[in-house]
Amino acid sequence: MEFIDQLRAFATRVSKLKEQVQTEEATKTSLVMPFFSLLGYDVFNPLEFIPEFTADVGIKKGEKVDYAIMKDGTPTILIEAKATCENLDRHGGQLFRYFGTTTAKFGILTNGVDYRFYTDLDEPNKMDQKPFFSINLLDLRDQEMNELKKFQKSTFDVEQVFNNAEDLKYTNQIKLFLSRQFEDPELDFTSYIVGSIYPGRRTHAILDKFKPVVYTKGTVLFVSNT
Q: What is the predicted pLDDT for the residue at 62?
A: 63
Neighbour count for residue 19 (Cβ, 10 Å): 9
**Domains of the chain with bracketed CATH:** 3-157 (3.90.1570.30), 184-224 (no CATH)
Instruction: Summarize the confidence of residues 19-27 as an average pLDDT.
Output: 92
Instruction: Summarize the confidence of residues 58-81 as an average pLDDT.
Output: 84
Q: Residue 55 burial by CB count (10 A; 0-12/13-18/19+): exposed, middle or buried?
A: buried
Alpha-carbon distance of 132 to 122, in angstroms, equals 11
Q: What is the mean pLDDT of the chain?
A: 85
- What phi and psi, each to the nearest 5 degrees, are found at residue 162? -65, -45
Instruction: Pick the range with the lowest mean pLDDT from 64-68, 70-74, 199-203.
Output: 199-203
Tens of pLDDT, residues 163-198: 888 777 777 777 767 777 777 777 787 788 788 877
Vertex 103: Cα angle to 93 and 101 (nearest 5): 45
Partner residues linked to 64 by β-bridges: 54
| Residue 221 pLDDT grade (very low, low, confident, very high; cuts 50, 70, 90) | very low
- Model confidence at 6: pLDDT above 50: yes
| Residue 56 pLDDT grade (very low, low, confident, very high; cuts 50, 70, 90) | low
Q: What is the predicted pLDDT for the residue at 207?
A: 81
Tens of pLDDT, residues 25-44: 999 999 999 999 999 999 99
- Model confidence at 117: pLDDT above 70: yes
Name the strand (E) or helix (H) holding 168.
helix 158-183
pTM across the whole model: 0.75
Q: What is the predicted pLDDT for the residue at 140?
A: 92
| Residue 23 pLDDT grade (very low, low, confident, very high; cuts 50, 70, 90) | very high
